[in-house]
Amino acid sequence: MSEVAKAKAPVQEKEPIMSAKNRRLLTDPLDENNPITVQVLGICSALAVTTQVWPALVLSICVVFVCSFANLTISLLRNGIPSRIRMIVQLVVIATLVVLVDQVLKAVAYDVSKQLSVFIGLIITNCIVMGRLEAFAMGNKPFPAFLDGLGNGLGYGAILIIVASFREIFGAGKWMGMEIVPQFIYDLGYMNNGVMVTPAAAMFLIGIIIWIQRARKPSLVDIS
């Protein structure tokens, strides 16, 4: 190409790192495309580990890490993965990250690791992680894929922490293991609600969150 042609050629602007499109990858899963309340994924762990905030927070951090770096890894490898074995490769990547998380958790927070039990290992088959790899990471560049995994992990974690907060406060009078209900409230006859520590309470709370979300944004209502 001649110098004149180069001069006339339009200059393609580079997309900013945190463009509006990339910001939506982080913010949409927190509300309009939340993996639990909109996509209805990851419900099992949301019911089982939300009796207390601390285990829910730890599991959320683990899922954020695994989802983000699994997305990043698969996006980097996407052009070299044969389509016939793509899900096997995805599972291997997720399993490697989960084993790493599990070993670190056992080393630094063994009690929480025992409390979470099999739910750390079940991240391997978590529909949120697998879904983002298949739906986004396999077809997008590494940085957007990382943001997508980060956003979906944060959206999942936000619901877990909200549900766990309600269950621990009203079920045990605590938050993060700290007593927050004053003694005089108990003296007036208040009692902790035992129903809040059952999985049924988590289902009701998630249902209420879904109801509030759809009442605020009718476009999320499925009219089919």
Q: pLDDT for 22-57, tens place per residue?
A: 888 888 898 888 998 888 888 887 888 888 899 899
What pLDDT score does 126 carry? Answer: 81
**Closest alpha carbon to 222 in 160, 213, 27:** 213
What pLDDT score does 100 carry? Answer: 94
Position 10 in a domain: no
Position 200 in a domain: yes
Examine the pLDDT at 11 and tell me if it is beyond 90. no
For the segment 156-185, the average pLDDT, to the nearest whole number, is 88
Examine the pLDDT at 217 and tell me if it is beyond 60. yes
**Closest alpha carbon to 112 in 52, 43, 45, 201:** 52
Give the total number of structural domains in the chain.
1
Position 195 in a domain: yes
Mean pLDDT of all residues in the chain? 86
Instruction: Give CA–CA dist 168/176, Å, rounded.
Output: 8
Which tokens go with 63? Answer: 């899922």
Q: For 62-74, how does the pLDDT look when each residue is reduced to its tens digit (9 = 90+)?
A: 999 999 999 999 9
In this structure, are residues 168 and 57 in contact, taking their beta carbons and an 8 Å threshold?
Answer: no
Position 46 in a domain: yes
Enclosing domain of residue 198: 40-215
What pLDDT score does 7 carry? Answer: 53
The single-letter code of the amino acid at 206 is I
Position 35 in a domain: no
Question: Partners of 178 in the beta sheet?
Answer: 175
Sign of CA dihedral 66, 220, 202, 208: positive
Question: Partners of 175 in the beta sheet?
Answer: 178
pLDDT class for 12, splitting at 50, 70, 90? low
Burial category of 112 from C-beta neighbours within 10 Å (exposed 0-12, middle 13-18, buried 19 and up):
middle
Q: For 46-55, how does the pLDDT look when each residue is reduced to its tens digit (9 = 90+)?
A: 888 888 899 8
Position 75 in a domain: yes
Position 13 in a domain: no
Examine the pLDDT at 1 and tell me if it is beyond 80. no
Instruction: Give CA–CA dist 133/145, Å, rounded.
Output: 8
Position 211 in a domain: yes
Instruction: Give CA–CA dist 71/98, Å, rounded.
Output: 13
Instruction: Kindly state the DSSP code that residue 11 receives in the 8-state scheme.
Output: P
Rg of the chain, C-alpha, whole Å: 21
**For the chain, percent of residues with pLDDT exceeding 70:** 92
Q: For 70-128, how does the pLDDT look when each residue is reduced to its tens digit (9 = 90+)?
A: 999 999 999 998 989 999 999 999 999 999 999 999 998 888 888 887 888 888 878 88
Examine the pLDDT at 224 and tell me if it is beyond 50. no
Instruction: Give CA–CA dist 37/221, Å, rounded.
Output: 11
